[in-house]
């Protein structure tokens, strides 16, 4: 586990603290009111412990975040005002929103803040220097504060000015969420309790070859679903009809050979829920693999789900890194739901169960097992790269 400066090491009273949070939440316009509606506030809620810790210690908090992809240009569609309002409601305190990022408004607010007050800069991605990790822009950001706290694990894999650059100019510390994410995910890589099962789904094997490779020496079994299961099956000569799969089967063959050499079980579907097309939900039916024909596989079948569940229930460590099928559609969510319920039962028996961010977290939330596991990560790409064993720029910047 990386050794970091944490908030326990920081004297923040009376100090201006530049706090990087990942408040990039999904939103949509509300009908009639002209106001936007936050569809999922989890990232805002996840930021609260660090914000409250800092204000409780008398810090003057200046929050930095991004929203969407404005491509370095000011765009009212991506203003952080709804985020600031939602945060203020939860804190029961004002959150002062600057009208710019490093301009006169931001500077005036940073200089006028009092102990325990909270301000927020406008969307940091309005500035082209953010994603370019421009040293001049990073220095401008740093000049607004006395200390830097990075609590945005979801952006830790990005070397941007607000996630990596500012750490070169200010004393830097990990926030409570960042610290918790690193601690939980490190337990999946450093001496995990056995048996250890990785439940892995997603569209393409090539996107997760790094995870397979890095976990191969640690896990006892992979339970494989989603589009990548189709690619593994095709690599074994199984007909998967019109199902989504990689064109290049060599990575799948390489992973199967590596697993065999290491004695790791690669559990693959023996049955599936199929339909004639992605949009034909009424045509969904369960078949054994030898009866897929020219149909499209859209979920693992009940026999497969039961086998995966049995393996998960006997594990002491489980990481869920992608749904088993098209969980957003009722006919194709059962495989993921059964796997999630098995993780919940495993948790009750004392196992460590972790859900990766992104689609994995969305599926866990949608199907009701997010609150029944040990940890749900707030990072999608960041979790993936962490499990691949990569060095994340946002974490490296905080290391002693």
Q: What's the CA gap between 54 and 359, in Å, rounded? A: 31
Segment 247-253 long-range contacts (CB within 8 Å, at least 24 positions apart): 248/206, 251/205, 251/206, 251/209, 252/205, 252/228
> Alpha carbon 294 to chain centroid distance?
35
The neighbour count for residue 46, using CB atoms within 10 Å, is 22
DSSP state of 76: G
Q: Is 358 a catalytic residue?
A: yes
Q: Active-site residue among 72, 116, 380, 381?
A: 381
Indicate which residue of 202, 358, 379, 394 is catalytic.
Answer: 358
Mention every residue, 6+ apart, whose C-beta is less than 8 A from residue 282.
none
Question: What contacts 79, CB < 8 A, 6 or more positions away?
Answer: 67, 122, 123
43 catalytically annotated: yes
- Residue 396 among the catalytic residues: no
Beta strands 296-300 and 271-275, pairing class: antiparallel
**8-state DSSP, 92:** T
Burial 357-371 (b: 16+ CB within 10 A, else e): bbbbbbbbebbebbe
Active-site residue flag, 204 = yes
Helices (H), the chain: 42-56, 81-91, 104-112, 128-131, 135-142, 176-186, 209-215, 226-235, 250-262, 302-313, 334-348, 359-366, 381-387, 393-396
Active-site residue, selected from the candidate residues 43, 60, 158, 187: 43
Both tokens of residue 320?
């869920």
Output the CA–CA distances (angstroms, integers) from residue 351 to 215, 307, 313, 321, 345, in the order listed.
18, 18, 9, 17, 9
Token reading at 95: 């959150």
42, 74, 139, 204: the active-site residue: 204
Active site positions, annotated = 43, 204, 358, 381
């Amino acid at each position: 586990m990386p050794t970091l400066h944490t908030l326990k090491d920081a004297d923040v009273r009376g100090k201006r603290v530049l706090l990087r949070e990942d408040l990039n939440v999904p939103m949509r316009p509300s009908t009639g009111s002209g106001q936007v509606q936050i569809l999922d506030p989890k990232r805002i809620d996840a930021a609260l412990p660090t914000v409250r810790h800092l204000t409780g210690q008398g810090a003057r908090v200046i929050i930095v975040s991004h929203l969407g992809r404005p491509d370095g240009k000011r765009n009212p569609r991506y203003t952080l005002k709804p985020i600031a309002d939602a945060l203020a409601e939860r804190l029961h305190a004002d959150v002062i929103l600057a009208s710019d990022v490093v301009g006169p408004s931001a500077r005036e607010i940073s200089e006028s803040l009092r102990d325990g007050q909270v301000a927020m800069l406008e969307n940091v991605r309005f500035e082209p220097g953010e994603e370019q990790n421009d040293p001049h822009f990073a220095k401008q950001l740093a000049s607004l504060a006395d200390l830097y706290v990075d609590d945005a694990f979801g952006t830790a894999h990005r070397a941007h000015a607000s996630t990596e650059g500012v750490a070169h100019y200010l004393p830097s510390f990990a926030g409570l969420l960042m610290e918790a994410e690193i601690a939980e995910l490190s337990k999946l890589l450093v001496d995990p309790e056995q048996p250890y099962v990785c439940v892995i789904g997603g569209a393409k094997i090539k996107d997760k070859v790094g995870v397979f490779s890095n976990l191969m020496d640690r896990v006892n079994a992979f339970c494989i679903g989603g589009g990548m299961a189709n690619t593994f099956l095709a690599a074994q000569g199984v007909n998967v009809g019109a199902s989504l799969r990689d064109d290049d089967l060599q990575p799948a063959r390489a992973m199967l050979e590596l697993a065999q050499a290491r004695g790791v079980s690669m559990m693959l579907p023996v049955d599936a829920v199929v339909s004639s097309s992605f949009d034909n939900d009424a045509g969904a039916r369960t078949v054994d693999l030898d009866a897929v024909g020219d149909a499209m596989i859209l979920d693992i079948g009940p026999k497969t789900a039961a086998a995966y569940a049995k393996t998960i229930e006997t594990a002491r460590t489980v990481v869920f890194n992608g749904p088993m099928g098209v969980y957003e559609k009722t006919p194709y969510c059962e495989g993921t739901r059964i796997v999630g319920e098995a993780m919940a039962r495993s948790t009750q028996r004392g196992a460590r169960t972790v859900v990766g961010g992104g689609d994995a977290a969305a599926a866990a939330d949608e199907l009701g097992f997010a609150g029944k596991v040990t940890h749900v990560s707030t990072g999608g790409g960041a979790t993936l790269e962490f499990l691949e064993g990569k060095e994340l720029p946002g974490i490296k910047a905080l290391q002693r």
